[in-house]
Every structure is written in structure tokens, then in C-alpha cells.
């Protein structure tokens, strides 16, 4: 094999490497620099008294309040209890949505009749902002947990069902034929070929759904709730407790960020072939 | 005694003005490696899809062991041009996929899959991921997967068409070795004249508008390779070159007659 090797001209590696190394570092450093600058600006405008603490409390005060909230609480509940209330609502909504939207999406993608039934229903309610039908849900299901979980469920259901259907419709026909020529039944095709093929799309649907779901949940808690991060922010605002408001917003942002990063990691773990040439 | 029989097959896609295949009859027996050679548009892929059962003929009869072919089945294993492997499974699971579908226990199907991987010179590749393989390696996994299910006949849809010339040469030799060792009848389609002449025990030449058989040849170059002669010696043999030029001439004379 190696007897006909072409002569390779060796170049100095140092002459070519500096550019990629500098580039791989810079993006992260720029992001970090942006965040640090923002924090310093926040600290500067509050420390010099340009902005009154009523409108923007200094970072240290927010941090201190955070400690106080985590240990003794605000409005009868600690920060953890508010957080747990919000997370359990979105967790329940997401769980039910995945369990129902994935089968419905597969049915839409694989079956003409199912597409005829579900497509108009989903396309009808999907463009409506969830908060617009929250009052109706409250009339039907009361003000308790059910109405909030149902709202989240509906917000997450559509993106997952649509993404799943898209994934099913774009399954490589050669893979289906390969499985059929190995003796696959229709059920086996769904289980062994269609579902794994659609998994990258399903996870993308879950990511989009969680983003929509989280913002809907917090907004719903601002309007009608007695616990949760949205409620904490809203009730603190009514008493002009600005540090709790700022802290609440930061925690909400952190959770959204963590959900997004967690799902990206899950996507890398579950579908490592996605984006690979195969 | 023919294993696979096609009797006066015609095929026409719904809405198409002309048939893609007209009046095709052919037999495939136990020791045969039948190659269908033709330019694009001659309906060779349609012919393979008919035999595999992916589409139904508009007229005629296809039977395997005397039983009419209805839809795809594990009796007719297919190797695709684009490998069509499952990237969420490793190499071993891909090769054992047909057995998994048939409900064969895990240890048994893994043993069989290892055996097939050794047959295609990929022993030790068990836990590689599909996207880590080269084009030639993927085609070998595809071949091992089709063989693992122990089909009655092996159908190959331009299996080496997407490979570079060097890899294609190696894969042709590998196919002949596998064919000799497993004694599976093979039906292969290609548009590569040299490949067709080298591999075939029986060659059919297809011409387009509509797809029809214009030449049938019995050849022995593949058998000479199997008997120990080197591939290069065979391909530079005057008789090989003569056959190749004859087939090439036939393709071009068909081209001129057709509109």
C-alpha cells in the first residue's frame, strides 16, 4: 500500500497554526468581557448614586437579598419553594406534552387521515398567544395548579408535535426500504427506523417548546398564582421591593439558560450522529 | 433450475406516458452472478426495485422458488448505493439488524454478525460508529447486513457507484470472494462496463425507451478470478478487452437508434 506514497512537502507548522488558535479563544473571551462590562457598569451607576436603589439596587444588595430569600424566604415561601413551584409546573406540562405530542406527531407524519384530523386543530391554536386563552382555561379549570399546567402543556404540545411530524416526513426512504428488505413490519419500521430518525427533530421541538413554555409559565404566574417565580416578582413589584424583582428576573433568566444548555447537552448525547456526514 | 424467475415483466409509473421496462424475462440460478448493465434511463434501478418488491410490475410475473413475489421480504436481501445504514446503532448492531427484526436472541445474532463482518474483512469493527467509516467500509457493512439475514438471493443496487476507482476495484474483488464463499446468487446493477464484464457470470445489457434487454452474454472472468488469477491480469487479457469493447459498441449502437 505504502510503496507509491507521493512526496509530501513538509511545511513549518508554526507558520499556519496561530490563526485558528486565536479564533477559538476569542469568541468566549468576548462574551465573558461583555458580561463583566455589564456587571461593572451596574456596580458603577449604583455606587456613584447616579441611579437610586429604588430603581436599581446595587449588585451586592441583590446578592445579599438572594441569600436572605434562600434561607428565610419572601411572601411565606423561600426562593427554593417558588423555584420548585415553577419547575414542577413546567416539568408536568413537559412530561405530558412529550408523552402525547410525539405519538400524535408520528401519526401526522405517517398517516394521511391523522394528518387531516390533527393538522387544522394544531394550526388553529398554535398562533394564539397562550395568555390570550388563559382566561378561558381559568373559567373551565379554576385558578389552581391544573389551569397552569394545562396552559404550559398546550404551549409545549404544538412545537413538539409539529417537529416530530417534520422528522417523520423527512426519514430517508433508503433506510425504510433497507429495513423492509430485512423483513421489518410496519410497527418495527416506526420503532427501529422512523422514531430514531426523527429524534433530532423531536429534541429540537422540545427545546423550542421549553422556551415557549417557560416564558408562558412566568407570564401566567404574574397574572394568576400564589407561588412561583413570576408571582414572587409580581408581588415584590407591588411593594417596590426592587432587589427581589431584579433577583427574580435573574433567576428566571438563569433557569431558561440552564434548560437550553441542558437540552443541547442531551441532544449531543442522544443523537451524536446528527450533523455528521453518514 | 432457476431460483428467481421474471416472466414478461413490464413496468410503468402512474401518469408516465411510456413504460420504463417492457417485456423483460430472465432467470437467476444458484451459481449465478447476474449483472444488469445499462446507461441511465434504461430502467435498471426499476428492475431491481421490482425484484426487491418495493414496486409492483404493471404486467408479468416475478417468482422466487415458484412463489410469486409480493412486497419486500428478508428472502431478497438488498445492498444499496447509498449505504442506508442506521447511524444510531454501531456496526455490529447494524449487521445484526435483520436478525433483531426476526426476534433472534442477542448473543446468537451478535455471533452471526461477527461471522459476517469477518467475511467482509471488517473483523474488530464491532463497536465503530457508522459515521466513522469510509465509503468502502460502509458498503461492506451493508453487504454483511444483507448476508446476515441469510437471504435466498442478494440484490445489489449500484453498490460501488459512489466509491473512488481504487476502492471500487478492491470491493469488486471482495464481492467475488464473498460470492464464492457464500454461494448466494447475486443480481447486481451497474453502469460501469468494466465492472459488469469482470463480475458477471451472466450479463444482460439494457437499452432505454423503454427499458429492454438487447444482449445476453455468458462470461467467465469472475470465475477465473475466483480460481486464483489476478484481477489485473484478467482485466488486461485481450479477451476481456475485446468483450468490453463489444459491449461498449452495443451500448452506442443502441444510443443511435433510439430518438
ipTM of the complex: 0.90
Q: Look at residue A107 in the predicted model and tell me its pLDDT.
A: 94
Domain contains B223: yes
SS3 at position B172 = helix
Q: Where are the domains of chain A?
A: 61-270
Domain contains B40: yes
Q: Look at residue A21 in the predicted model and tell me its pLDDT.
A: 52
- Alpha-carbon distance B87 to B111, whole Å? 21
Residue B231 has pLDDT above 50, yes or no: yes
Residue A202 has pLDDT above 50, yes or no: yes
Residue A275 has pLDDT above 80, yes or no: no
- Closest in A172, A185, A278 to B131, CB measured: A278
Task: Check B87 against A276: CB less than 8 A apart.
Answer: yes
Q: By residue range, what is the domain housing residue B119? A: 86-150
Domain contains B80: no
What is the CB neighbour count within 10 angstroms for residue A37? 10
pLDDT tens for residues A228-241?
Answer: 999 999 989 998 88
Task: Check B86 against A192: CB less than 8 A apart.
Answer: yes
SS (H, E, C) chain A: CHHHCCCCCCCCHHHCCHHHHHHHHHHHHHHHHHHHHHHHHHHHHHHCCCCCCCCCCCHHHHHHHHHHHHHCCECCECHHHHHHHHHHHHHHHHHHHHHHHHHHHHHHHHCHHHHHHHHHHHHHHCCCCHHHHHHHHHHHHCCCHHHHHHHHHHHHHHHHHHHHHHHHHCCCHHHHHHHHHCCCCHHHHHHHHHHHHHHHHHHHHHHHHHHHHHHHHHHHHHHCCCCCHHHHHHHHHHCCCHHHHHHHHHHHHHHHHHHHHHHHHHHHHHCCCCCCCC
Cα separations in angstroms, A34 against A23, A24, A41, B160:
17, 17, 11, 53
Task: List the single residue in B with minimal CA-CA distance to A198.
Answer: B88
pLDDT tens for residues A131-155?
Answer: 898 889 989 988 888 999 999 999 9
Residues B157 and B146 in one domain: no
- Give the best-scoring range by mean pLDDT among A44-48, A95-99, A120-124: A95-99
What is the CB neighbour count within 10 angstroms for residue B118? 13
Q: Look at residue B125 in the predicted model and tell me its pLDDT.
A: 92
Residue A250 has pLDDT above 80, yes or no: yes
Residues of B in contact with A178 (CB under 8 A): 78, 80, 84-85, 145
Task: Check B131 against A276: CB less than 8 A apart.
Answer: yes
Query: Measured between CA atoms, how close is A204 to chain B, in angstroms?
Result: 17
CA A228 to chain CA mean position, Å: 18
- A-B C-beta contacts closer than 8 Å: 72
pLDDT tens for residues B136-187?
Answer: 999 999 999 999 999 999 999 999 988 999 999 999 999 999 999 998 999 9
Q: Look at residue A51 in the predicted model and tell me its pLDDT.
A: 86
Residues B170 and B206 in one domain: yes
Residues B195 and B230 in one domain: yes
- Closest in A180, A182, A273 to B88, CB measured: A273
Interface of A with B (CB under 8 A): 172, 174-175, 177-185, 188, 192-193, 196, 199, 271-273, 276-278
- Alpha-carbon distance A247 to B51, whole Å? 68
Q: Look at residue A220 in the predicted model and tell me its pLDDT.
A: 87
Interface of B with A (CB under 8 A): 52-54, 71-74, 76-78, 80, 82, 84-88, 97-98, 100-102, 129-131, 145-146, 149, 155
Residues B113 and B187 in one domain: no
Residues of B in contact with A277 (CB under 8 A): 131
Tally of domains within chain B: 2
Domain contains B95: yes
Residues of A in contact with B130 (CB under 8 A): 273, 278
- Alpha-carbon distance A5 to B69, whole Å? 51
How much is the average pLDDT of A162-181?
94
Q: What percentage of chain B exceeds 70 in pLDDT?
A: 97
Q: Do A245 and A233 form a contact (C-beta atoms < 8 A)?
A: yes
How much is the average pLDDT of B108-124?
94
Cell 444588595 -> residue: A61
Q: Look at residue B50 in the predicted model and tell me its pLDDT.
A: 94
Residues of A in contact with B101 (CB under 8 A): 179, 182-185, 188, 192
Query: Measured between CA atoms, how close is A111 to chain B, in angstroms?
Result: 19
Residue A11 has pLDDT above 70, yes or no: no
Task: Check A188 against B101: CB less than 8 A apart.
Answer: yes
Query: Measured between CA atoms, how close is A87 to chain B, in angstroms?
Result: 31
CATH class of A61-270: mainly alpha
How much is the average pLDDT of B16-36?
90
Judged by average pLDDT, the poorest of A17-31, A232-246, B57-71 is: A17-31
Residues B48 and B95 in one domain: no
Query: Measured between CA atoms, how close is B250 to chain A, in angstroms?
Result: 32
Residues of B in contact with A278 (CB under 8 A): 85, 87, 130-131
Query: Measured between CA atoms, how close is A13 to chain B, in angstroms?
Result: 26
- Closest in B77, B86, B87 to A181, CB measured: B77
Query: Measured between CA atoms, how close is A171 to chain B, in angstroms?
Result: 11
What is the pLDDT confidence band of residue B94, given thresholds at 50, 70 and 90?
A: very high
Task: List the single residue in A with minimal CA-CA distance to B139.
Answer: A278
| CATH number of residue B66's parent domain | 3.40.50.300
Task: Check B97 against A182: CB less than 8 A apart.
Answer: yes
Residue A13 has pLDDT above 50, yes or no: no
How much is the average pLDDT of A246-259?
92
Q: What percentage of chain B exceeds 90 in pLDDT?
A: 73
Q: Look at residue A50 in the predicted model and tell me its pLDDT.
A: 86
Q: Which helix (H) or strand (E) holds B113?
A: helix B106-119
Residue A19 has pLDDT above 90, yes or no: no
- Give the best-scoring range by mean pLDDT among A1-10, B43-52, B249-258: B43-52
Rounded to 5°, the CA angle A53-A56-A59 comes to 90
Residue A1 has pLDDT above 50, yes or no: no
What is the pLDDT confidence band of residue A22, given thresholds at 50, 70 and 90?
A: low
Domain boundary among B150, B165, B187: B150
Residue A218 has pLDDT above 60, yes or no: yes
Q: Look at residue B211 in the predicted model and tell me its pLDDT.
A: 87
Residues B159 and B68 in one domain: yes
Domain contains B25: yes
Q: Which of B70, B86, B113 to mutate to test the interface with A (most CBs of A within 10 A)?
A: B86
How much is the average pLDDT of A239-252?
90
Task: List the single residue in A with minimal CA-CA distance to B77.
Answer: A181
Residues B29 and B141 in one domain: no
How much is the average pLDDT of A110-124?
92
How much is the average pLDDT of B27-43?
90
What is the pLDDT confidence band of residue A277, given thresholds at 50, 70 and 90?
A: low
Q: Look at residue A214 in the predicted model and tell me its pLDDT.
A: 92
3-state helix, strand, coil in chain B (%, to 5): 40, 25, 35
Task: Check A273 against B77: CB less than 8 A apart.
Answer: no
Residues B131 and B166 in one domain: no
- Alpha-carbon distance A204 to A194, whole Å? 16
Domain contains B81: no
Q: Look at residue A8 in the predicted model and tell me its pLDDT.
A: 45
How much is the average pLDDT of A219-248?
88
Task: List the single residue in B with minimal CA-CA distance to A189.
Answer: B101
Task: List the single residue in B with minimal CA-CA distance to A273.
Answer: B87
Kindly state the cell numbers that stand for A10.
513538509
Amino acid at each position: 500500500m505504502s510503496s507509491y506514497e507521493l512526496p509530501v512537502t513538509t511545511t513549518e507548522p508554526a507558520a499556519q497554526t496561530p490563526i485558528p488558535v486565536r479564533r477559538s479563544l476569542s469568541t468566549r473571551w468576548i462574551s465573558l468581557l461583555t458580561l463583566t462590562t455589564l456587571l461593572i457598569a451596574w456596580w458603577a451607576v449604583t455606587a456613584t448614586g447616579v441611579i437610586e436603589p429604588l430603581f436599581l439596587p446595587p449588585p451586592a444588595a441583590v446578592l445579599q437579598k438572594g441569600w436572605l430569600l434562600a434561607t428565610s424566604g419572601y411572601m411565606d415561601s423561600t426562593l427554593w419553594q417558588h423555584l420548585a413551584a415553577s419547575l414542577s409546573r413546567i416539568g408536568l406540562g413537559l412530561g405530558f406534552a412529550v408523552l402525547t405530542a410525539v405519538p400524535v406527531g408520528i401519526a401526522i407524519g405517517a398517516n394521511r387521515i391523522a394528518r387531516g384530523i390533527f393538522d387544522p386543530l394544531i394550526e388553529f391554536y398554535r398562533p394564539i398567544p397562550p395568555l390570550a386563552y388563559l382566561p378561558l382555561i381559568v373559567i373551565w379549570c379554576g385558578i389552581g395548579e391544573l389551569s397552569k399546567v394545562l396552559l404550559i402543556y398546550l404551549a409545549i404540545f404544538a412545537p413538539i408535535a409539529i417537529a416530530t411530524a417534520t422528522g417523520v416526513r423527512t426519514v430517508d426512504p433508503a433506510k425504510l426500504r433497507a429495513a423492509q428488505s430485512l423483513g421489518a413490519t410496519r410497527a418495527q419500521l416506526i420503532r427501529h427506523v422512523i422514531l430514531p430518525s426523527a429524534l433530532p427533530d423531536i429534541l429540537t421541538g422540545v427545546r423550542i417548546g421549553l422556551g415557549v413554555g417557560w416564558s408562558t409559565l412566568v407570564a401566567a404566574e404574574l397574572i394568576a398564582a400564589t407561588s412561583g417565580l413570576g408571582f414572587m416578582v409580581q408581588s415584590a413589584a407591588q411593594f417596590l421591593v426592587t432587589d427581589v424583582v431584579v433577583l427574580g428576573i435573574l433567576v428566571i433568566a438563569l433557569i431558561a439558560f440552564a434548560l437550553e444548555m441542558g437540552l443541547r447537552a442531551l441532544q449531543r448525547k442522544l443523537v451524536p450522529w446528527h450533523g455528521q456526514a453518514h | 433450475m432457476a431460483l428467481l424467475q421474471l416472466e414478461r415483466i413490464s413496468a410503468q409509473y402512474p401518469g408516465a406516458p411510456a413504460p420504463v421496462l417492457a417485456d423483460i424475462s430472465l432467470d437467476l440460478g444458484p451459481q449465478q452472478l447476474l449483472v444488469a448493465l445499462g446507461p441511465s434511463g434504461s430502467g435498471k434501478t426499476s428492475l431491481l426495485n421490482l425484484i426487491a418488491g418495493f414496486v409492483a410490475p404493471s404486467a408479468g410475473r416475478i417468482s422466487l422458488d415458484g412463489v410469486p413475489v409480493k412486497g419486500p421480504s428478508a428472502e431478497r436481501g438488498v445492498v444499496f448505493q447509498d449505504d442506508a445504514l442506521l447511524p444510531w446503532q454501531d456496526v455490529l448492531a447494524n449487521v445484526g439488524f435483520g436478525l433483531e427484526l426476526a426476534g433472534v436472541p442477542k448473543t446468537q445474532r451478535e455471533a452471526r454478525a461477527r461471522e459476517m463482518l469477518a467475511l467482509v474483512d471488517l473483523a474488530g469493527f464491532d463497536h465503530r460508529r457508522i459515521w466513522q467509516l469510509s465509503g468502502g467500509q460502509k458498503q461492506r457493512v451493508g453487504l454483511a447486513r444483507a448476508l446476515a439475514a441469510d437471504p435466498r438471493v442478494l440484490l445489489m443496487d449500484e453498490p460501488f457507484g459512489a466509491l473512488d476507482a481504487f476502492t471500487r476495484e478492491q470491493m469488486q474483488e471482495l464481492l467475488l470472494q464473498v460470492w464464492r464463499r457464500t454461494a448466494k446468487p447475486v443480481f447486481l446493477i451497474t453502469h460501469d462496463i468494466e465492472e459488469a464484464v469482470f463480475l458477471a457470470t451472466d450479463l444482460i445489457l439494457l437499452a432505454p425507451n423503454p427499458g429492454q434487454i438487447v444482449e445476453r452474454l455468458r462470461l467467465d472472468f469472475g470465475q477465473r478470478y475466483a480460481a486464483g488469477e489476478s484481477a489485473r491480469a484478467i482485466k488486461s487479457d485481450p479477451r476481456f478487452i475485446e468483450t468490453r469493447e463489444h459491449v461498449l459498441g452495443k451500448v452506442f449502437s443502441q444510443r443511435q437508434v433510439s430518438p
